[in-house]
Homo-oligomer: A and B are copies of this chain.
Amino acid sequence: MNINGKHYRTIWTSPDHRQTVYIIDQRHLPHQFVIEELTTLENTITAIKDMHVRGAGLIGATAGFGMYLASLAASDHTFDEDMNRAGKRLCQSRPTAKNLGWAVDRILMATGTAPSPTAKREIAYQTAQEIADEDADFCRRIGQNGVSIIEQISKAKNGQPVNILTHCNAGWLAFVDHGSATAPIYAARDAGIGVHIWVDETRPWNQGAKLTAWELQQEKIPNTLITDNAGGHLMQRGDVDLVIVGTDRTTHTGDVANKIGTYLKALAAHDNNIPFYVALPSSTFDWELDKGKDIPIEKRAGSEITRITGLKDDGSLETVRLVAEGTQAENYSFDVTPARLITGLITERGIVKAEREAIHRLFPEH
């Protein structure tokens, strides 16, 4: 996708210098565009835990490359053991993110059967690259599959712009490219279908205000920032035609863990008869959990709520406290939207109802 007109992925390596993995340090967006170099597992864990990178697919891809970086440091004598330990540490960094464990397991599976440490390291690199390429490709297909939903609404509105509400950032910044929730939006734009996006600011980390609005602006997609409180009212007014969000983990029964507040938007969409779709590559499915309420929900520091960083008029960044001294805050990062509130899941293989049988029909290998 484009940043100031130049094409970027969110994570990449240089073929000539494989010891370094490059990411966009998203903490500084939209004010500063900072590229960070990761060279160790420790770097990678910090980048995931402290949200230099975030978003389902990008966490997965970063974990893949993190395992590759771990392979460079792994001892020839205890290689598999070192890699297992690295994988465990990575998985603890963001407990709700399904793609994290999925990517770690994929690297461990691929390296496990290779004949030598050298071969294992080469396979770790190739697999990490594959995970990233596949993520970008699956997101592209999510776009191809999801665009029909937008097209139908556009026709019903006689070509008037389709108003789509999204929560958090499930954009290309959350994946390697294209995004999940945004992929159908970019595909619609490419097909000449008029869209306008309501961007939830997404407290406390403000992924919507900082990332989604900026990303859409870079791609010249009309968008309006709103508070997380506003979506219900806009739906009541008839100003929302469609909701598309991403997910950090979706049970194979169709319950969706996504950024905290998603459940509230699903309730409002349901109450106003507005279609509510969740876009995800299949790497985000949890094939073991039957109930959304069993998904581990990450809790982060309360200071993400009580303090905020922004740009001063002089162009420098400043962090300010928003509350009285001593105010305590509690900060759950995700909630679970039950399958009953979801119109459909947009995957790389097509659109499917959020229910066990339909999901397994589309992914019979699981």
A296 contacts B by Cβ under 8 Å = no
Residues of chain B within 8 A of A305, CB atoms compared: 201, 209, 225-227
Contact B322 A308 (CB under 8 A): yes
Contact B320 A226 (CB under 8 A): no
Residues of chain B within 8 A of A230, CB atoms compared: 260-261, 330-332, 335
Instruction: Map CB proximity to B onto A9-49 as digits: 1 under 8 Å, 0 otherwise.
Output: 00000000000000000000011000000000000000000
A251 CB to closest chain B CB (Å) equals: 15
Instruction: Map CB proximity to B onto A319-334 as digits: 1 under 8 Å, 0 otherwise.
Output: 1111110111111101
A229 contacts B by Cβ under 8 Å = yes
A204 contacts B by Cβ under 8 Å = yes
Alpha-carbon gap, A293 to B236, bound state (A): 9
A260, A302, A326: residue with the most chain B Cβ atoms closer than 10 Å: A260
A262 CB to closest chain B CB (Å) equals: 8
Alpha-carbon gap, A335 to B217, bound state (A): 28
A267 contacts B by Cβ under 8 Å = yes
A5 CB to closest chain B CB (Å) equals: 15
Of A69-77, A274-282, A310-318, A347-355, which stretch is located at the interface? A310-318
> Interface extent on A, as a size class?
35 or more
Residue in chain B with minimal CB distance to A323: B209
Q: Which of B209, B217, B326, B332 contacts A326 (CB 8 A)?
A: B217
Contact A232 B323 (CB under 8 A): no
Contact B329 A224 (CB under 8 A): yes
A241 contacts B by Cβ under 8 Å = no
Residue in chain B with minimal CB distance to A168: B229
Residue in chain B with minimal CB distance to A223: B328
Contact B323 A312 (CB under 8 A): no
Contact A213 B324 (CB under 8 A): yes
Residues of chain B within 8 A of A327, CB atoms compared: 30, 209, 213-214, 217, 225
A317 CB to closest chain B CB (Å) equals: 8
Contact A203 B206 (CB under 8 A): no
Contact A204 B224 (CB under 8 A): no
Instruction: Map CB proximity to B onto A252-271 as digits: 1 under 8 Å, 0 otherwise.
Output: 00000001110111011001
Contact B261 A324 (CB under 8 A): no
Contact B330 A224 (CB under 8 A): yes
Residues of chain B within 8 A of A226, CB atoms compared: 305, 329-331
Residue in chain B with minimal CB distance to A309: B320
Residue in chain B with minimal CB distance to A307: B310
Residue in chain B with minimal CB distance to A234: B332
Residue in chain B with minimal CB distance to A312: B320
A232, A305, A326, A332: residue with the most chain B Cβ atoms closer than 10 Å: A232
A233 contacts B by Cβ under 8 Å = yes
Contact A228 B203 (CB under 8 A): yes
Known contacts A227-B261, A229-B261, A264-B267; is-contact A236 B336 (Cβ 8 Å) = yes
Q: Which of B210, B268, B324, B329 contacts A322 (CB 8 A)?
A: B210
Contact A310 B311 (CB under 8 A): no
A231 contacts B by Cβ under 8 Å = yes
Known contacts A209-B323, A224-B328; is-contact A232 B264 (Cβ 8 Å) = yes
Contact B259 A229 (CB under 8 A): yes
Q: 22 A-B Cβ contacts within 8 A?
A: A30-B323, A30-B324, A31-B324, A201-B203, A209-B322, A209-B323, A210-B324, A225-B327, A228-B229, A228-B261, A230-B260, A232-B263, A232-B264, A232-B335, A233-B260, A233-B297, A233-B332, A236-B335, A236-B336, A311-B321, A312-B319, A312-B320
